Amino acid sequence: MNNAVERKIYILDTNVLIHDPNALTHFDEHDVILPIVVLEEMDQVKKGMDELARNVREASRQLEELSDSCEDMAKGCALPGGGRLFFELNQHSTENLPEAMIQGLADNKIIAVALALQGEHKGRQVILVSKDINMRIKARALGLTTEDYRSDRVVTDLSILPSGKIRLDEAAWQAMGNDMQVLEHDHGNHFVVTWPEALALPFINSFVLLPGEREIVMRCSEVAQGRRVHLQDAVSFRQERNAIWGIQARNTEQNMAMNLLMDANLDLVAMLGLAGSGKTLLALAAGLHQTLDMGLYDKILVTRATVPMGQDIGFLPGTEREKLEPWMGAITDNLSILLGDEASNIADILGQNRIEIAALSFARGRTFTKTWLIVDEAQNMTPHQMKTIVTRMGEDSKIIILGNNAQIDTPYLTPYTNGLTRVVSSFAGWEHAGHIALKAGERSRLASRAVEVL
């Protein structure tokens, strides 16, 4: 092993490779150690069709490629970043561990390896990398340096995640007025302004709130050279005459969301929002209108990550639809609002209104054409799952991605690493996508108060 002082030694926990099969490419010029117990744990979960099993198989394939190209395993296998990968095959003694940790857990064996390596390489920094918080705490208590695996982060600061809107103050708007070009437009005002250097440019399909006694919402339709920004009036879905299936926007953000949902030129719309902010209701109302009334789509398809919020109640009986019905309560509740007395039987509702529900697990290999696809609870999806579902979209389809980063139930996922954050950050600024963050709760005054105080 190269003992250059600047090269760190990283010992990887099993969950790092399960979480990100490409993790070995992210350690630059440093040495990476895989204890034998990690390979044994991977072997136990490699079978199956779920996300974990697929990730393990992909990680195993990469490990095999690295070992095949390795001339001398004892000297380590070359990694893409310039470091080397070593397989730690010695079962290190657990005598340095507290008595309570000596037996059993594979985590404790990995910690024992890290302690042994720290003793052998005193001139180098030895770091245990794990997604498991409790394992990191135990290791720190024993004097080890630990880190969470951070290379999977989509963003490093959630405050830079686009909200979909910008509010201008009076001074900024007046400064733009000095160089404003007014264009004729069939659907209201259309301005072209030079955007100040001090302000971040708006994304295409984001919204600009103008100052004044009456709140004016403009939509950014183009960003041209010379910081020339095209702004045009947004449609007001707060008016009864523009209601969609009886649903009017109750606040500014909901009105912005309706503008995006009703724009047939957009292929992807993401809506982030707190519980009760109206994400599902707006997506269903717009989907029913454009599918049943306008004929733009052949069907509405609803899917979501089936991750339980609390204790799992076990396997559910019946067909795919029957298994998914308990997970689709938010959809059926909102359909009851939209359909009223007609919503007496879930099977009849779905069939008569061309609505299908499907498990996310069965998306691989499918192509959705002329489909209004609603992906609910997207905060519980990994970036890989999000890529899988978005790349299934065919011609003349639209995907609506709904989620709340405050309600993540999937182990090892955070607002920094999940598929919802990935899709919002990756598609911001694309002319055929839009997103908006819904702030206000509209479910009830009790629900809104609960979001604030609980």
Domain boundary among 147, 169, 202: 147
pLDDT of 316 reads 44
Q: Structural domain of residue 362, as residue ranges?
A: 261-453
pLDDT of 303 reads 86
Domain presence at residue 135: yes
The Cα–Cα gap between 279 and 164 comes to 15
User: Residues 224, 286: one domain?
Assistant: no
User: Residues 294, 410: one domain?
Assistant: yes
User: Residues 138, 162: one domain?
Assistant: no
Domain boundary among 122, 147, 172: 147
Domain boundary among 118, 147, 176: 147
User: Residues 420, 313: one domain?
Assistant: yes
Domain presence at residue 252: no
Instruction: Show the beta-strand stretches assigned E in 238-352.
Output: 268-273, 299-304
User: Residues 68, 183: one domain?
Assistant: no
Domain presence at residue 153: no
pLDDT of 242 reads 93
Residue 10 vs residues 31, 77, 129, 241, 381: alpha-carbon distances, Å: 6, 14, 7, 62, 28
CB 298 within 8 A of CB 355: no
> What does the angle CA 166 – CA 414 – CA 330 come to, to the nearest 5 degrees?
75
Domain presence at residue 250: no
pLDDT of 444 reads 74
User: Residues 52, 188: one domain?
Assistant: no
Domain presence at residue 239: no
The Cα–Cα gap between 119 and 96 comes to 11
Sequence-distant (≥ 6) Cβ neighbours of residue 113 within 8 angstroms: 11, 33, 35, 37, 88, 92
Domain presence at residue 255: no
Is the pTM above the cut of 0.75?
Answer: yes
pLDDT in tens, the chain (454 residues): 554 447 899 999 999 998 888 899 899 889 999 998 899 899 888 877 677 788 889 999 999 999 898 888 888 899 988 899 999 877 655 666 666 666 657 888 899 899 989 988 888 999 999 999 999 999 999 999 999 998 878 777 888 888 999 999 998 888 887 788 888 766 678 889 999 888 999 999 999 999 887 778 999 999 999 899 999 999 999 999 999 998 999 999 999 999 999 999 999 999 998 878 889 999 999 999 999 999 999 999 988 776 433 333 344 445 555 555 555 666 777 877 887 766 555 556 666 668 877 777 666 678 899 999 999 889 999 888 899 899 999 999 999 999 999 888 888 888 999 999 999 999 999 999 999 999 877 677 787 777 778 7
Average pLDDT, the chain: 84
Enumerate long-range contacts of 239-246, CB under 8 Å, 24 or more apart.
Answer: 244/285, 244/286, 244/289, 245/285, 245/288, 245/289, 245/338, 246/285, 246/338
- Which amino acid does the sequence have at 110? I
User: Residues 291, 431: one domain?
Assistant: yes
Closest to 331 (Cα-Cα) out of 295, 279, 383 = 279
User: Residues 67, 111: one domain?
Assistant: yes
User: Residues 228, 360: one domain?
Assistant: no
Domain presence at residue 245: no
User: Residues 209, 279: one domain?
Assistant: no
User: Residues 94, 175: one domain?
Assistant: no
User: Residues 50, 126: one domain?
Assistant: yes
CB 413 within 8 A of CB 387: no
- Which amino acid does the sequence have at 323? K
pLDDT of 122 reads 87
pLDDT of 95 reads 61
Q: Reduced to 3 states, what is the DSSP secondary structure of residue 360? A: helix
We report the CATH number of the domain holding residue 367 as 3.40.50.300
Domain presence at residue 289: yes
Domain count within the chain: 3
pLDDT of 448 reads 74
We report the CATH number of the domain holding residue 121 as 3.40.50.1010
